[in-house]
Structure 1
Amino acid sequence: MSTPTKDIRQDIKASPAQLRYADTLFYGSLVGFVALLATYALYVTGLLEPQIPLEQMHTVWTHSAAEYRALGHIPQGWGWLALLNKGDICNFVGIVILAGMTIICFAQLALSLARRKEWLMFWIATAEVVVLLLAASGVLVAGAH
C-alpha cells in the first residue's frame, strides 16, 4: 500500500520581491518583443530606409562584425543610436530592451532588499547592477575583437 506523498511545491511561497522581479521581467520582455516586431515591420515594409541597402547585404554580411560595421558606416559602441531612423538599425531597440531587463530587475531587487535591510544581498545585487552597467557602457573593453 502506498502512502500519499505531499507535493512540496504547494508549500513554496514566492516573496513579494521575487514576484515583482518576475512581473517586471515578464512585462519588460513583452515590451521588448513588441518593439522587435514593430521595428522589424518598419524594416521589411520599407517605411524606414536601411543603413545597408538590401542589394548590398549579400556581399556585406559575409565579413566579420568589424568589417560589416566599417562597410556599413555603422559607428562603434553606442554610436548606433544616431542611426535609429534606419530600418536595419532600429531593430536594436528591442534587443536593448530585452538585454536591459536583467539590469532593471536587479536594481529593483536591490531596492527591495534595502527596504528589508538584507544588506549582504543588497550589496550583491548592487554589484551585479554595477558590473552589468559597466559591461553595457563599453568601459570594460578587452581584447582585439
Structure 2
Amino acid sequence: MALNVPGLIAVIVFYTLTLATGLWAAWKAKKNEQKNRQTEIAIVGGRNLNVFVGLFTTTATWVGGAYINGTAEIVYLPSRGLAWVHAPLGFAITFIIGSLMMSGLFFVKPMRSKKYVTMMDPLQEKFGQTMGSILFIPPLLGDVFWFASILASL
C-alpha cells in the first residue's frame, strides 16, 4: 500500500485550517468576553451573529451524516432515483420561509431586545413555569427519537 501524498496534504491542510479557525474563534471570544457574559457567548454567540453564520449554523444542525448518506443511497437505487429525494427541497423551503423570512422579520428583534435565549423563554414568561415545562416535552421527545433514528440507521 503506497502513501497517497495528495490525500495526506489535503488532510494536513484541512486540519491546519480547522486549528486556525479554532484559534481565531477563541481569540475573538476572549475579546468579546469583556462585553458579554460567558454563558451568553456560548449559547447565542454574544447576540451578534450575522445572517450567513446563523443560516449555516441552522443548516449544520439539520444536515448531518445520516442525511447525506441517506440521500445518496436513495438517489443511487435504480428503483427510486432523484424523484424520491424530497428532504433537500423541503429543507430548503423551510429554511427560506421559516428561518430567514418568519424568524428574521418577526422574532429576532423582540427576542434580542428582551434578552431571550430560547424560543421557550417568551412562552414561559407568558404562561408560567408549569406550562413552560409541559411545552418542553415535545421538543425533547423529538430530539430523543431523532437521535434514535440516527443510531438505528448506522
Q: Is this a same-fold pair by TM over 0.5?
A: no
> Which protein has the larger Cα radius of gyration, Structure 1 or Structure 2?
1
* Structure with more relative contact order (C-alpha pairs < 8 Å, separation 6 or more): 1
Provide TM-score, normalisation by structure 2: 0.29
Provide TM-score, normalisation by structure 1: 0.30
